[in-house]
């Protein structure tokens, strides 16, 4: 039986995102209330009124950017502008200016190496890149390899900077305040609204952000902290769209440092936290929490990966707050199931279906499962993405013709409530479309590190570039509610015979400059004689998981023995 949301359907706006956020009669056009605030220096901030001026200047600037040789428009509507930046107050401006002008926003993880940045530049066919000055060397090297001219890169930060490596400040791209004053963004018909691409996102979650409306109620004025990366759909939804719509001040952190995070909560009396499970582990276990007053927090929303009921309730009890979970994917624009406001769930449930959403749970043969039995979660709703970017095969397999999305997650249902119990191995997918053009696999093989996905095949390919390594398999090592990439490596015979053969520690160091930090082999390296494989040559992932579980138990035992 198809499950329906217990909530009444709500109307879905069919318009440009700027028309939705800034309707003609809205006070947000001239509001001076700070919304995006630099957590390190709160004197650096933007209101929606100030941001709208920048948004118009960027939209007009993109519209009028011309190739100096041919005079052709550099970035047309429906083409990509890449953002390569840590969190900062102008990323929301870039997002809304790009999307509102009919272009496509895509954010690069600021931890990416040159090779990883090149892939995203090529895959999106980016026309313009806004890069933070701290990442300029990586961006220039990647753009050179991707064949993107230097004049299409712009340094992107809160303060104006001098030209470096031939890259100008992004203000050179913008229209003047006078010229942009009469700028009008593109209005969309209902059909255009449903089919226009807004973002290409390269990461997604297993249990995602609840989509409930969060805003001031009664005397409580909410304040949020924005450490979630703005190249990720979770961060975009909360830090940009919800913050504007609900006029919630959000203190942006350029990078996550736990003690800085605690200080921001204390100093600015943050009321509502949006986190992933690793932060919950820190809040539960780390001794630094005792040094800070976190009493302003009233609720924590946890998504992006599964959270155990035990950890949920431990944090709730420790801080006297309500902890709510939700389920989502980038494919459903971050959320389709959440625990409703006013409900204090202690069972580990991800909640009930959002308005306009429906789902069904099917077994491996496509049959519906009885209530209380596990089945793969299929979702249908207006917020399901259009398709995967440049991968029609994955689109056909996952985005079914009748509108159903195969999630790859295993859930059980009792009444209106859902619990995620496992992930199902799915075929490899790549890039996806919106409202939201997404790009990534959802597979049991994927490793979740701080809410980011790590593909074992990528690390295996990188390891095989080492001249001393004959074969390798990578798997997630799960310890203390966190997951760490662990490699099982076979050395070449010639390497084994050397006086000083390659050590596990050397392999861990060797991989670091070749991949982003969240892909480092923090779960360790084990030297083995042979990687277990099927006759087809595929790695037997089930065996690798068993090895990782065995090693996790051993490592935890060693840790306890030391204590």
Regarding whether 292 and 226 lie in a shared domain, the answer is yes
Regarding whether 471 and 517 lie in a shared domain, the answer is yes
pTM given for the model: 0.80
Regarding whether 481 and 384 lie in a shared domain, the answer is no
How do residues 332-353 score in pLDDT, each as one tens digit? 888 999 999 889 999 999 999 9
Residue 81: per-residue pLDDT:
98
pLDDT tier at 79, thresholds 50, 70, 90: very high
Residue 281: per-residue pLDDT:
77
Which residue's entry shows tokens 């995967």? 388
HSE-CB at 101 with a 13 A cutoff on CA atoms is 31
Residue 326 in tokens: 């939700």
Do the domain assignments include residue 110?
Answer: yes
Regarding whether 224 and 163 lie in a shared domain, the answer is no
Regarding whether 298 and 369 lie in a shared domain, the answer is no
Residue 314 in tokens: 């431990």
How do residues 394-425 score in pLDDT, each as one tens digit? 888 888 889 999 998 899 999 999 998 877 74
Among candidate residues 283, 312, 344, the one where a domain is terminated? 344
Three-state secondary structure call for residue 254: coil
Do the domain assignments include residue 246?
Answer: yes
Among candidate residues 433, 457, 491, the one where a domain is terminated? 433
Regarding whether 325 and 416 lie in a shared domain, the answer is no
Between CA 105 and CA 126 the distance in angstroms is 10
Q: Is 80 exceeded by the pLDDT of residue 393?
A: yes
Do the domain assignments include residue 38?
Answer: no
Which string of DSSP letters, residue by residue, matches 402-450? TS-EEEEEEEEEETTEEEEEEE-------EEETTTEEE----TTPEEET
Name the average pLDDT for the chain: 88
Do the domain assignments include residue 2?
Answer: no
Residue 401: per-residue pLDDT:
86
% the chain with pLDDT above 70: 91
Tell me the CATH number at 115.
3.40.50.980
Q: Is 90 exceeded by the pLDDT of residue 388?
A: no
Alpha carbon 331 to chain centroid distance? 11
Q: How many domains is the chain built from?
A: 4
Regarding whether 186 and 61 lie in a shared domain, the answer is yes
Regarding whether 69 and 20 lie in a shared domain, the answer is yes
- Phi, psi at 3, each rounded to 5°: -90, 135
Cβ burial 368-407 (10 Å sphere, 16+ → b, else e): ebeeeebbbbbbbbebbbbbbbebeebbeebbeeeebbbb
Q: Is 70 exceeded by the pLDDT of residue 209?
A: no
Regarding whether 552 and 479 lie in a shared domain, the answer is yes
Do the domain assignments include residue 308?
Answer: yes
Do the domain assignments include residue 37?
Answer: no
Regarding whether 195 and 80 lie in a shared domain, the answer is yes
Q: Report CA Rg, the chain.
A: 24
Regarding whether 394 and 255 lie in a shared domain, the answer is no
**Residue numbers of the domain that contains 315:** 210-344
Evaluate the omega torsion of the peptide bond into residue 435 and state whether it is cis, within 30 degrees of 0: yes
How do residues 180-194 score in pLDDT, each as one tens digit? 988 999 899 888 888
pLDDT tier at 427, thresholds 50, 70, 90: very low
What is the rounded end-to-end Cα distance, in angstroms, of the chain? 52
Span 290-305, average pLDDT:
91
Tell me the CATH number at 495.
3.30.300.30
Do the domain assignments include residue 284?
Answer: yes
Distances (CA, A) of 10 to 133, 192, 329, 343, 356: 43, 20, 21, 21, 7
């Amino acid at each position: 039986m198809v499950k329906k949301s217990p909530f009444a359907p709500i109307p879905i706006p069919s318009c440009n995102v700027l028309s939705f956020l800034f309707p003609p009669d809205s006070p947000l056009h001239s509001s001076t209330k700070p919304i995006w605030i630099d957590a390190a220096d709160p004197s650096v901030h933007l209101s929606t009124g100030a941001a709208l001026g920048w948004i118009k200047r960027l939209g007009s600037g993109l519209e009028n950017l011309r190739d100096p040789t041919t005079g052709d428009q550099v970035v047309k509507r429906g083409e990509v502008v890449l953002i390569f930046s840590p969190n900062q107050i102008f990323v929301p401006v870039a997002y809304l200016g790009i999307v509102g002008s009919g272009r496509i926003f895509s954010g690069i993880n600021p931890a990416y190496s040159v090779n990883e940045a090149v892939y995203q530049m090529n895959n999106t066919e980016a026309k313009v890149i806004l890069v933070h000055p701290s990442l300029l060397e990586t961006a220039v090297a990647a753009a050179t390899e991707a064949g993107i001219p230097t004049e299409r890169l712009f340094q992107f930060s809160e303060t104006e900077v001098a030209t470096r490596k031939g890259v100008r400040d992004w203000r050179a791209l913008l229209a003047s305040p006078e010229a942009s004053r009469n700028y009008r963004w593109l209005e969309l018909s209902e059909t255009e609204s449903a089919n226009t691409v807004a973002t290409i996102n390269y990461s997604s979650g297993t249990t995602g952000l609840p989509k409930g409306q969060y805003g001031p109620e009664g005397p409580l004025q909410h304040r949020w902290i924005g450490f979630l990366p703005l190249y990720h759909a979770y961060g975009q939804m909360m830090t940009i769209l919800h913050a504007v719509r609900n006029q919630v001040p959000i203190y942006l952190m350029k990078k996550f440092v736990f003690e800085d995070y605690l200080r921001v909560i204390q100093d600015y009396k943050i009321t509502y936290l949006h986190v992933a499970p690793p932060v919950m582990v820190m809040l539960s276990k780390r001794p630094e929490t005792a040094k800070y007053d976190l009493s302003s927090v009233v609720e924590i929303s946890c998504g992006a990966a599964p959270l155990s009921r035990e950890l949920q309730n431990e944090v709730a009890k420790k801080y006297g707050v309500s902890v709510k979970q939700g389920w989502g994917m980038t494919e459903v624009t971050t959320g389709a199931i959440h625990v409703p406001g006013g409900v204090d769930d202690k069972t580990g449930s991800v909640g009930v279906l959002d308005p306009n959403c429906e789902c069904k749970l099917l077994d491996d043969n496509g049959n519906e499962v009885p209530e209380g039995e596990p089945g793969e979660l299929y979702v249908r709703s207006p917020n399901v993405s259009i398709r995967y970017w440049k991968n029609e095969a994955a689109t056909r397999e996952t985005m079914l013709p009748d509108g159903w999305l195969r999630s790859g997650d295993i859930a059980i249902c009792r009444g209106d409530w859902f619990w995620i119990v496992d992930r199902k191995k799915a075929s490899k997918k790549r890039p996806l479309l919106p409202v939201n053009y997404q790009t990534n696999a959802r597979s049991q093989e994927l490793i979740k590190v701080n809410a980011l996905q790590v593909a074992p095949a990528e690390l295996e390919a990188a390891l095989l570039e080492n001249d001393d390594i004959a074969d390798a398999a990578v798997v997630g090592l799960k310890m203390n509610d966190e997951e760490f990439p662990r490699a099982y490596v076979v050395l070449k015979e010639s390497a084994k015979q050397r006086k000083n053969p390659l050590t596990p520690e050397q392999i861990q160091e060797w991989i670091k400059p070749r991949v982003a930090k969240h892909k480092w082999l923090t779960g360790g390296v084990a030297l083995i004689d042979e990687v277990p494989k099927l006759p087809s040559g595929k790695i037997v992932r089930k065996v690798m998981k068993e090895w990782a579980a065995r090693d996790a138990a051993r490592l935890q035992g060693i840790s306890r023995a030391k204590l």
